[in-house]
Amino acid sequence: MNRTTLSLIAGATALAAVTGFAVLTAPDPTAADDGVATAAARLPVERSSLLCPTPSTSDLAETTYTSFTPVTKGTENEGSAELRPATAGRPAEQGTEENEKESEKENGGDDGGEDDGGEEAAASAKPEKPVLEHKKEPGKPVTADTSGGEAPALLGTAEGRFAPGWTVQQTTEVAAGTGRGLQGVTCTAPDTEFWFPGASTATERTDYVHLTNPDGSAAVVDIEVYGKDGALETEVGEGITVKPHSSEPVLLSTLTDEEQTDVTVHVVVRSGRVGAAVQALDDSLGGDWLAASADPAGSLVLPGIPEDATAVRLVVFTPGNVDADLKVQLASPSGLITPAGNETVHVKGGMTTAVDLGDVTRGEAGSLVLTPTDRSVPVVAAVRVLRGQGDDQESAFVPAAREVGLRATSVDNTAKGSTLAVTAPEGAAKVRVTVSAGSEGGTPATETYTIKAGTTQNIEVPVPDDVEGTYALTVEPESDDAPVYASRTLTAPDDGVPAFTVQTLPDDRGMVAVPHTEEDLSVLQR
- Going along the chain from its start, the domains and CATH numbers come out as 3-43+514-525 (no CATH), 48-291 (no CATH), 300-399 (2.60.290.11)
Cα(140)–Cα(174) distance, integer angstroms: 27
Percent of the chain whose predicted confidence (pLDDT) is above 90: 74
In this predicted structure, the answer to whether residue 121 has a pLDDT above a threshold of 80 is: no
Residue among 400, 462, 448, 407 nearest 425 (CA): 400
Cα(238)–Cα(235) distance, integer angstroms: 8
Q: Residue 126's pLDDT is what?
A: 55
35-39, 173-177, 221-225, 496-500: least confidently modelled range: 35-39
Higher pLDDT, 416 or 379: 379
Question: Can you say whether the dihedral through the CA atoms of 157, 162, 164, 165 is positive or negative?
Answer: negative
Q: Residue 90's pLDDT is what?
A: 39
Percent of the chain whose predicted confidence (pLDDT) is above 70: 83
Q: Residue 416's pLDDT is what?
A: 86
Residues 6+ apart with CB under 8 A from 155: 49, 51, 83, 84, 85, 86, 212, 214, 245
Q: Residue 446's pLDDT is what?
A: 95
pLDDT digits (tens, 9 = 90+) for 429-440: 999 999 999 999
Higher pLDDT, 121 or 399: 399
3-17, 455-469, 471-485, 494-508: least confidently modelled range: 3-17
Q: What is the pTM of this model?
A: 0.85
Q: Residue 35's pLDDT is what?
A: 46
In this predicted structure, the answer to whether residue 336 has a pLDDT above a threshold of 90 is: yes
Give residue 86's identity as a one-letter amino acid code: A
* Band of pLDDT at residue 127, cut at 50, 70 and 90: low
* Band of pLDDT at residue 11, cut at 50, 70 and 90: very low
pLDDT digits (tens, 9 = 90+) for 176-219: 999 999 999 999 999 999 999 999 999 999 999 999 999 999 99
Indicate the average pLDDT of the chain. 86
The average pLDDT across 267-271 equals: 98
The average pLDDT across 266-273 equals: 98
In this predicted structure, the answer to whether residue 377 has a pLDDT above a threshold of 70 is: yes
Q: Residue 18's pLDDT is what?
A: 38
Q: Let me know: does 455 contact 333? Beta carbons within 8 Å.
A: yes
Q: Residue 292's pLDDT is what?
A: 98
The average pLDDT across 104-133 equals: 52
Q: Residue 350's pLDDT is what?
A: 97
- Based on the number of CB atoms within 10 Å of its own CB, is 258 exposed (0-12), middle (13-18) or buried (19 or more)? middle
The beta-strand segments (E) located in 154-310 are 154-160, 167-174, 181-186, 193-199, 205-213, 219-227, 230-231, 240-242, 246-251, 263-271, 275-282, 287-290, 300-305
Higher pLDDT, 169 or 233: 169
Cα(298)–Cα(354) distance, integer angstroms: 17
DSSP 3-state of 390: helix
Higher pLDDT, 266 or 114: 266
Q: Residue 15's pLDDT is what?
A: 37
